[in-house]
Amino acid sequence: MGMTMTQKILAAHCGKQSVKAGEIIMADVDLALGNDITAPVAINEFNKTDCKKVFDKNKITFVLDHFTPNKDIKSAEQCKQTRDFAQQMGIVNFFDVGEMGIEHALLPEKGLVVAGDLVIGADSHTCTYGALGAFSSGVGSTDLAAAMATGKIWLKVPPAIRFNLTGQLPSHVYGKDLILQIIGMIGVDGALYKSMEFTGEGVKTISISDRLCIANMAIETGAKNGIFPVDQKTLDFIKEHSSRQPVVYQADDDAEYEQVIDIDLSQVKQTVAFPHLQENTRTFDDMPEIRIDQVVIGSCTNGRLEDLQVAAEIMHGKKVAKGIRVIIIPATQKIYLEAIELGLIRTFIEAGCVVSTPTCGPCLGGHMGILAKGERCIATTNRNFVGRMGHTESEVYLASPAVAAASALAGKIVPAV
């Protein structure tokens, strides 16, 4: 029996000719990632070992993005601990305020991940890099500490679900709509510890930005990772951003999948996930009137330039509804600068939005947009759990940048037209 794309990458990184689902392996790590919340825990564990240095100062990266610029004394102390450790160990890829970005947008932009890599990160949305043909997955801070010390990680080889994509997404329908539809279809545990492998002719019609969004939210089905095949779009993106040579793996024709799900992209509709789970999805065929108080456009899921362009096109020359707070968060400094140069920031400000420095901020209820009791927010973020963005009696609705922008103008959840 052949191997899936994920299984081939794992086999290559543990020195085996082949691996099979359920097998426990010890694999070499190409990149280990921590942020200002998870890195301090990993550093504390690392310091309990006899290691005097990390396994490779070029293969560890820390990004201070969750509570930065620091919102309080505790977050400042966490960042200082990470900053001091990075300096002590000579960590090359350390990104602080002013040069950082939201980690899962920043690493592809910096060319730190290429096809064929094995990436682990102490953040669940590390699965984002599967969009570039890498195996990437979130781990705990203790696993990150071990990887920092040894350059290795133990993994159980996941079985796979194949999503066969055909056709092309309609106008004003995006990758966010597709992944929300999939989550609604299979549920938040529908791919538990499995690899979500996206294949088919429809893949070539999906932008890299949308692929990053889709892979980012693979974890919202419980998946170990999400992964896309490497095509010319992937290779062009990698060439533009990295000097490293990608390694391309393809699934075998006789690879074994637990399930094959066929999706005609032309049938995907604008989709919104209602509180308090991402599987509670509805299209505008079945949408009650939902008044909102706040809109957030950003995050590691949908804060890329393409996302901002979509939102700005809808908002251009218009004003957000009276009383609606709209927060725009470019995912990296580079994206922020490009948005300024393209006039997108002027569009947002003239429409009545506030524009933030890159930060995870409101996505995890950190800062820059906390909700009060009874308030509702439509956001391009990836989670809408109880209390995710503030008060436990607030509500978060997940949608694409297009739907979020249109809703900002209407003051209620509406489709983008």
Query: Which CATH number goes with the domain that contains 102?
Result: 3.30.499.10
CA distance 149 to 53: 7
User: Using CA of residue 133, residue 139, residue 142, residue 143, what is the dihedral sign?
Assistant: negative
Contact 261, 200 (CB under 8 A): no
Task: State the DSSP code for 113.
Answer: -
User: Do residue 128 and residue 37 come from a single domain?
Assistant: yes
* 91-121 core/surface letters (b: 16 or more CB in 10 A; e: else): bebbbbeeebbbbbbbbbbbebbbbbbbbbb
**Is 54 a member of any domain?**
yes
Q: Does position 1 have pLDDT exceeding 90, yes or no? A: no
Same domain (yes/no): 251, 120: yes
Q: Where a domain ends, among 263, 284, 313?
A: 263
Structure tokens at 12: 């290559």
* Domain-embedded: residue 416: no
Reported as a single tens digit per residue, the pLDDT across 223-240 is 999 999 999 999 999 999
Mean pLDDT of 180-189: 97
Residue 19 has pLDDT above 90, yes or no: yes
pTM of the model: 0.96
Residues 133 and 194 in one domain: yes
Q: Which of 408, 413, 417 is nearest to 351 (CA)?
A: 408
Range of the domain at 275: 271-410
Residues 33 and 159 in one domain: yes
User: pLDDT-derived band of residue 372, with 50, 70 and 90 as boundaries?
Assistant: very high
- For residues 24-55, one letter each, b for 16 or more C-beta atoms within 10 angstroms of the residue's C-beta and e for the rest, the string is ebebbbbbbbbbbbbbbbbbebbeeeeeeebb
Alpha-carbon gap, residue 18 to 246, rounded angstroms: 20
Element (H, E) at 296: strand 294-297
CA distance 355 to 412: 21
Structural domain count of the chain: 2
182, 204: one domain:
yes
Checking if the pLDDT of 308 tops 90, the result is: yes
For the stretch 92-109, pLDDT in tens is 999 999 998 999 999 999
Q: What is the mean pLDDT of the chain?
A: 97
